[in-house]
Amino acid sequence: MRKLIGFGKSSYVVSLPKQWIDKNKLKKGDLLSIEEGKEGLLFRTNAPSLKDEERRAVINAEKKSLAQLKTEIVSAYLDNYNVIEVISDDLKTNAPEIRDMLHGLSGLEIINQSSTRIVAKDLINIDEISVKTLIRRMDNITRSMIKDTQECFDGIDHADSLAHIDEEVNRLHFLTSRVIRGGLKDVRVANSLGSNSFKLHSDHTVTTKIERIADNIKRICRSLNNSKLDKKWRNELKDIFRGIENSYLDVMKSYYTGDQEIALRIEETNRDRIIACDNFFNKHNHHGIKYTNGGRKGVCDFRAACGATTIILENMKEMASGVKYIARTIIGGG
């Protein structure tokens, strides 16, 4: 609570909490904008450019595996360091791989490289970023992956191309997560995005689920390509996949329009998708599979068919689960 203090004949003054001042990096003399809303007055900061603060992460690559380096580089990127520097007495051996890691993160450009250091800088203007636009791009790519997977059920091999397409979804996911985390940590970023903590948290759930759904799609296509399932089985699995596809398209429509009735309907019917996967497994129980090995039947092919079917069903169930969580986010007001 703050006490209202008279100031002159026509104005009043109220003190602001120091914690809020520090969080918004304000100082004496800074300007605030005041807007009148339904629930009262809304104070906004006229924040300085978000580009004015350089945050540099220095990563020592000595005696570290490429997997560990990738983890540290991605972590620094997600934590909104705008300069990432990788150092080592000898970077010659792993320099190409490290460059690929940095190039794989949207907005990073290598600005300096020597035998002992590689420096990348973030060139993205946060003021021009739209989280919903990034999510829509992820969604559009995922939709194209779904269409290609429909053809995978018909025996057309898209496994390699989908693996490359999924990398673009991952890049967009990292960028979206980075922007969202920036908004959650700094209210100036949230204001720049025209969002708030609750909305950003909801958007993070959506982008994470889309990225995982894209992973599921990639694995389904790869399993179909590596197996020799009977055409009848493929058609049955394809029907289940189409049902999940329709749920995904509906839930994204609900997300864009804010239509909670669609989300509620998806929540009610989503379990039907899971049951369809379980019923398929229980119905066949891996019996009656037709499989070939150069025209001959073989135990190895039988096991491969069983394993592939299990992977396909589990990934379709995970897709359905992802759709469910997006729907719940929308129902919750996200």
Q: Would residue 211 count as lying in a domain? A: yes
148 lies in the same domain as 69: no
188 lies in the same domain as 325: yes
Q: How far is residue 106's CA from residue 137's CA, in Å, rounded to a whole number?
A: 13
Residue from 219, 329, 327 nearest 273 by CA: 327
293 lies in the same domain as 217: yes
141 lies in the same domain as 120: no
294 lies in the same domain as 197: yes
Q: How far is residue 246's CA from residue 146's CA, in Å, rounded to a whole number?
A: 10
Residue from 19, 15, 43 nearest 4 by CA: 15
Q: How far is residue 220's CA from residue 223's CA, in Å, rounded to a whole number?
A: 5
Average pLDDT on 301-320 reads 78
Q: How far is residue 70's CA from residue 59's CA, in Å, rounded to a whole number?
A: 10
Q: How many CB atoms lie within 10 A of CB 159?
A: 19
Average pLDDT on 298-320 reads 73
Can you give the pLDDT at residue 76? 95
Q: Would residue 227 count as lying in a domain? A: yes
Residue ending a domain, among 96, 124, 152, is 124
Q: Which residue has the tokens 């380096």?
A: 69
- Indicate if the pLDDT at residue 189 is higher than 70: yes
Question: CB–CB of 74/174 below 8 Å?
Answer: yes
Is the backbone of residue 285 left (phi > 0), alpha (psi -120 to 50) or beta?
left
281 lies in the same domain as 186: yes
Can you give the pLDDT at residue 21? 84
Question: CB–CB of 327/250 below 8 Å?
Answer: no
Buried b (16+ CB within 10 A) or exposed e, 256-271: eeeeeebbebbbeebe
63 pLDDT tier (thresholds 50, 70, 90): confident
Residue ending a domain, among 124, 154, 173, is 124
Strand bridging mode 83-87 / 56-60: parallel
Q: Would residue 290 count as lying in a domain? A: yes
Residue from 180, 89, 91, 168 nearest 129 by CA: 180
211 lies in the same domain as 293: yes
The CA distances from residue 133 to 130, 140, 162, 245, 258, in Å, are 5, 10, 22, 21, 15
Q: Would residue 50 count as lying in a domain? A: no
Residue ending a domain, among 65, 92, 124, is 124
Report the number of distinct structural domains present in the chain. 3
Can you give the pLDDT at residue 47? 56
**Distance from the first to the final alpha carbon of the chain:** 29
CATH number of the domain bearing residue 270 = 1.20.58.220
Q: Would residue 312 count as lying in a domain? A: yes
Q: Report DSSP state, residue 82.
A: S
18 lies in the same domain as 141: no
214 lies in the same domain as 230: yes
22 pLDDT tier (thresholds 50, 70, 90): confident
Q: What is the pLDDT of residues 190-222, one digit of tens each?
A: 878 888 889 999 999 999 999 999 999 999 999
Average pLDDT on 113-128 reads 87
149 lies in the same domain as 170: yes
300 pLDDT tier (thresholds 50, 70, 90): very low
Can you give the pLDDT at residue 334? 64
Q: What is the pLDDT of residues 171-184, one digit of tens each?
A: 999 999 999 998 88
Residue of higher predicted confidence among 332 and 118: 118
- Indicate if the pLDDT at residue 312 is higher than 70: yes
Strand bridging mode 40-45 / 108-113: unpaired
105 lies in the same domain as 197: no
Can you give the pLDDT at residue 243? 95
Q: Would residue 119 count as lying in a domain? A: yes
Q: What is the pTM of this model?
A: 0.79
CA-only gyration radius of the chain, Å: 26
105 lies in the same domain as 162: no
Domain that holds residue 40: 5-45
Q: Report DSSP state, residue 123.
A: -
285 pLDDT tier (thresholds 50, 70, 90): low
CATH number of the domain bearing residue 65 = 3.30.1370
Q: Would residue 51 count as lying in a domain? A: no
46 pLDDT tier (thresholds 50, 70, 90): low
50 pLDDT tier (thresholds 50, 70, 90): low
In the chain, DSSP finds a helix count (H) and a strand count (E) of 10, 8
